[in-house]
Amino acid sequence: MKAGRKFLLGAALIVGGVGFLIAEGVKETGVYFLTPTELAAKTASDPTFVENVGFKVGAKVVPGSIRRDKDARTIDFVVSDGVKRYPVTYRGLVPDTFTDANDIEVVVEGRLGRDGVIRATDVLAKCGSRYEAVPEA
């Protein structure tokens, strides 16, 4: 076999390998990113979604809904996109940006329980203006 052929074979292996890793990675680790409305539609059309499928929900925290337990390591709150609401329970430390201020946007990763509560495995909070100053109230 000529050097050029051998090289093309090696190149094909690398390109194929990269493609395979990407495809497999997306399949194995990709999670849905939904709004509460989309989550409701998903669970209505596909009942196996509940408890079985991990997803992320991007929504706002309903003001005043945050309840922290005594040792401050479990936190319950309600998220909403203005149409649908979902209660969330999370055990772990929330980031600094997760405050009781109005209008904080969160991304909650987890699964939906049969009781309609999202069991979060991760909570990211984004104060829409992290690298900008807080707007005047």
| Cα angle value 132/135/137 (rounded, 5°) | 155
CA distance 96 to 53: 28
| Count of residues that bind other proteins according to CB under 8 A | 47
Q: Does 92 engage in binding with other proteins (CB under 8 A)?
A: yes
Nearest CA among 72, 74, 77, 75 for reference residue 57 = 77
Pick one of 40, 58, 76, 85: the residue that binds other proteins (CB under 8 A): 58
- Cα four-point dihedral sign 55, 61, 65, 67: positive
Q: CB 88 → other proteins: shortest distance, Å?
A: 18
CA distance 13 to 2: 17
Q: Does 67 engage in binding with other proteins (CB under 8 A)?
A: no
Q: Does 102 engage in binding with other proteins (CB under 8 A)?
A: no
Which stretches of the chain bind other proteins, using CB under 8 A? Answer: 3-4, 6-7, 10-11, 14-15, 17-18, 21-22, 24-26, 28-34, 38, 56, 58, 70-73, 92-93, 95-97, 99, 101, 107, 124, 126-134
